[in-house]
Homo-oligomer: A and B are copies of this chain.
Amino acid sequence: MNLKELSRHLGLSQSTVSRALNGYRDVSADTRERVLEAARRFGYSPNVNAHRLATGQSGAIGIVFPSGNDPLLDPLFTDFLSGLTNSAARRQMDVLVSASFDSAEASYRRLAQRRSVDAVVLSGPLVADPRVSLLDKLDIPYVVHGRTRAPHPYAFLDIDNEGAFRQAAELLIGLGHRRIGLVNGDLRQSFAVDREAGWRSALLAAGLVAPDALNDSDVMTDEAGYRLTAGMLSSETPPTAVICSSIFSAMGACRAIRDRGLAIGSDISVIAHDDGISSIRPETHNPPLTTTFSSIHKAGERIAEMVADLLGGKAASASQEVWPVDLIFRDSTRPPARA
């Protein structure tokens, strides 16, 4: 059942039926009702490919997966994608996931040139990310989840990573900690750099040093969290508290602490960044973990809205948001044990 058949059934022209369905005003309320009713009855729904060809819009948001079994590809992505997709669906848009089986650049170029998506979202930006310049050059609207160094304004949604980790460090300092470790994510990603900056500035502001021995980074897995934390604990000046960049790193950090016969909270304080994924909740741990919290799902939802705004003509420079991060105090942070 297509437009032509439907209009023949109704005894109307294709254009009238099309206008009726799309809510234009040059159609009487009466005619419109008849058309809508018939469309329902015949189970008509427009061919999306024809619609796209005619309008020049694809009605889809693109996002590119890192290729292969990338360790950066973490479970958080699901939650983000879920939010993005939900919110996009509410605006009649789809999300097209594309893999970079050759290079990420090639994928973006393909998406842009073939016009298979109207806009793309870029997640996990690096400190200076060539993809941003590329997208700018390709002249396709885009929103970055995070921030990067770029010579031009661009639309982004980021959380206040620096502020969050500064606050976390300040909390620990306030409790009396002096040696605070940072178990960070991969430093090529800009959020990790921002978090380090937050951690460092809190320490320096308190007149403390921010030693390299207490500042380490790697992928945000349980295993790496364990390894980094174990390394710090066996250093000459072990930390009395650690701040972890993800709930996964924190799981590893907690194991490392326990394996050393120490107790979380009373011996070593732990703060983790929590993106709000449901499979691991910090509040159900023993002891419940203090966290910096920001829902990555909500970020995905908001980004779809921002994309829609951008497509609606909003300027990229007006589409920049930095979300504050909640610091949620639980039992894994206590004053340091008396040395």
Contacts and interface: CB of A to CB of B under 8 A. Distances in A.
Give the number of times this chain occurs in the complex, counting copies: 2
A114 B281 CA distance: 39
A77 B82 CA distance: 10
Contacts of A96: 60, 94-97
8 contacts: A48-B115, A60-B96, A75-B75, A81-B81, A85-B98, A89-B101, A95-B96, A221-B281
B284 A223 contact: yes
Interface of A: 43, 45-50, 52-53, 56, 58, 60, 65, 67-69, 71, 73-79, 81-82, 85-86, 88-90, 94-101, 107, 110, 113-116, 219-223, 226, 248, 251, 255, 258-259, 277-281, 284-286, 297
A79 B67 CA distance: 11
Chain A interface mostly:
mixed
Given A74-B279, A86-B65, A221-B281, A47 B115 contact: yes
A67 B88 CA distance: 12
A89 B99 contact: yes
Which A-B residue pairs are the 5 nearest by beta carbons? A75-B75, A89-B99, A49-B52, A85-B99, A48-B114
A95 B97 contact: yes
A114 B47 contact: yes
Contacts of A222: 279-281, 284
